Amino acid sequence: MFLSKTIARNPDLIRTAVTLHQQGLIPAGSYLIDLDTVAQNACLMKEKADSLGLKIFAMTKQIGRNPAVIRTLMDAGIDSAVCVDMADARRVHEAGMKIGHLGHLVQVPMAETAAAVAMEPEYWTVYSLEKARQISQALPAGREQKILLRVYDEGDTFYTGHEGGFPAGEIRQVIAEIQKLPGLRFAGLSTFPTQLFDPETVTVRHTHNYETLKKLKQELEQEGYGPLEINAPGTTSSHLFEEMAASGATQVEPGHGLTGTTPIHALRDMAEKPAMVYVSEVSHFYKNRGYCYGGGMYIDPVFPPYEVRACVGKDPDTTLRNLVPCDIPAPSAIDYYGILAANAPVQADDTVVFGFRAQIFVTRAFVVPVSGIADGKPVVQGIYDSDGKKMGWPHC
């Protein structure tokens, strides 16, 4: 779905992928990330957020928590991250980026609370008073921790397995209990998702969850709480910032926006450009169909099923024009291989380039950040695993 936009808006990314793979500089089963384009995307987001008074926290799970990309984001002015879980937090912290928000989707386990406290997150979301008490007990004397409360109301929706938080009607009692706990300060509200892509209108629309945040913010601030932080993540890119700031949001958390791969980026030319492709290789043939290596063939299911295609070849320019349909394994299967169309014009060892909207952290793919693509002088900045650890490839 994202390959067409990459061909149109960042063809040098695909050419570079073919060149580096054919030179043996990057492995099959890799996500190649264009650091120059990530920097451009981050700079425009940071500038827009600053102009509107929005705090901006980068989500890094979808890029495999990659330290080279994290450094690029910091150089572009985004100095804090939202961490989806403690695995995220550890990699972000090790890379030198501040943790702007923790507990966003996954609550911090009891035994890891002290480790999380030591990382000094600016904001920490809790779904229960039990978690709040654990934080309070782990805080050193004199330390204050700003707490966001995950809230929900009738009509709100969550992805399966994401449910949790405090009923909106009980929020005042919860705030009172939070304020009694040593070191904790109630700072605001959060939920997820607050925006979703609407394929029928090809727009991003606010969810009922967002209306719950707005309503509670207005009520609580009128009652003397605040000013409150409103954390409003989901399908975030710069085109939403102005409206979000005007309607009460104070924190935005772009993830796929940084690589130009939110759903709307697949169908419209947005400010952010595509900056990530999946690089594979034709392994062998069976009944006239080429098989290419998997490992990272995860498609974030934001669209109904669609025909997956790949650019295939050995020459950078002709590969751009050779688009071949490919069957990839269902999410319930292990993606050892993708299977190219029968009798397609492909050969053994051809480079195969896909345009997936990825969640690299749930794959076993390599991650290859590359600088210098914009200048025609690409430099591989390391080979990493999907959890942000540098590999000794090809001898790992």
DSSP letter (8 states) at residue 394: T
Range(s) of the chain covered by CATH 3.20.20.10? 35-256
Instruction: DSSP for 281-295, please give it.
Output: EEEEEETTEEEEE-S
Determine whether 146 is exposed, middle or buried from the number of CB atoms within 10 Å of its CB (0-12, 13-18, 19+). middle
Range(s) of the chain covered by CATH 2.40.37.30? 3-34+270-380
pTM of this structure = 0.95
**Tokens 């690299």 belong to residue:** 360
Average pLDDT, the chain: 95
Mean pLDDT for 309-325 is 97
Mean pLDDT for 113-139 is 98
Distances 130 to 178, 234, 244 between C-alpha atoms, Å: 10, 26, 31
Mean pLDDT for 283-289 is 97
| Range of lowest pLDDT (72-81, 182-191, 249-258, 292-301) | 292-301
Which of 71, 13, 79, 68 is CA-nearest to residue 45?
Answer: 79
User: Which helix (H) or strand (E) segment is 102 a member of?
Assistant: strand 98-102
The sign one gets for the Cα dihedral 123, 125, 129, 134 is negative
Per cent of the chain over pLDDT 70 is 99
Q: How far apart are CA 254 and CA 264, in angstroms?
A: 14
Residues 6+ away with beta carbon under 8 Å from 181: 132, 133, 135, 136
3-state secondary structure of 226: coil
Pair 265, 237: CB distance under 8 Å: yes
Q: What are phi and psi of 31, to 5 degrees?
A: -95, 120
Position 298 scores a pLDDT of 83
Q: For the structural domain made of 35-256, what CATH number should be given?
A: 3.20.20.10
Q: For the structural domain made of 3-34+270-380, what CATH number should be given?
A: 2.40.37.30
Pair 201, 152: CB distance under 8 Å: no
pLDDT tens-digit profile of 59-75?
999 999 999 999 999 99
Pair 33, 370: CB distance under 8 Å: yes
Checking if the pLDDT of 302 tops 90, the result is no
Position 393 scores a pLDDT of 81
Instruction: DSSP for 340-391, please give it.
Output: EPTT-S--TT-EEEE-----GGGS--EEEEEE-TTTT--EE---B-TTS-B-
Residues 6+ away with beta carbon under 8 Å from 29: 279, 280, 293, 294, 295, 296, 364, 365, 366
The sign one gets for the Cα dihedral 297, 302, 304, 307 is negative
Position 396 scores a pLDDT of 62
Q: How far apart are CA 191 and CA 99, in angstroms?
A: 18
Confidence label for 213 from pLDDT (cuts 50, 70 and 90): very high
Mean pLDDT for 165-188 is 97
